[in-house]
Amino acid sequence: MAETIFAKIISREIPAKIEYEDDHCMAFHDVAPQAPTHLLVIPKQPIVNLAAVTDDDTPLLGHLVRVATQLAERLNLADGYRLVVNCGPHGGQTVDHLHIHLLGGRPLRWPPG
């Protein structure tokens, strides 16, 4: 996998407004927010997208979702929020590193796009 902007954020080559970090993942504010609250939760392990996930990644995926829900609670998104994972070019993925968008702070429309 080629080094992505997210790998550079993990290694601190590129600055980010980091909201959370542990040994397995990092969460930071999106530089082009689509909602008042827009964070990206990424694994530190380089996984291209959901199509590249293996059975061995199952605990990590659960951890990413749990971190996202804990951040939603901490950021007072009690009225609701959305978790989005884009997969591949037709799915809207623009960075080849798995990431979960945490969106909230306003009513979100459906369908999304």
| CATH number of domain containing 40 | 3.30.428.10
Q: How many CB atoms lie within 10 A of CB 61?
A: 16
Degrees, nearest 5: CA angle 1-70-15: 45
CB 18 within 8 A of CB 11: no
**Known catalytic residue: 38?**
no
109 within some domain: no
pLDDT tens for 4-62 read 999 999 999 999 999 999 999 999 999 999 999 999 999 999 999 999 999 999 999 99
Listed in sequence order, the residues at least 6 apart from 33 whose beta carbon sits closer than 8 Å to its beta carbon are: none
Task: Identify the band that residue 113 occupies on the pLDDT scale cut at 50, 70 and 90.
Answer: low
Q: Is a pLDDT exceeding 80 seen at residue 99?
A: yes
- State which residues form the domain around 72: 5-104
Listed in sequence order, the residues at least 6 apart from 18 whose beta carbon sits closer than 8 Å to its beta carbon are: 26, 27, 28
Q: Which of 24, 29, 90, 99 is catalytic?
A: 99
Tally of structural domains, the chain:
1
110 within some domain: no
Q: Is a pLDDT exceeding 60 seen at residue 1?
A: no
60 within some domain: yes
CA neighbours within 13 Å on the CB side: how many for 89? 0
pTM summary value: 0.95
Q: What is the pLDDT of residue 61?
A: 98
Q: What is the pLDDT of residue 112?
A: 78
111 within some domain: no
CB 84 within 8 A of CB 103: yes
Distance CA 5, CA 98 (A): 12
Nearest to 28 by CA among 40, 36, 37: 40
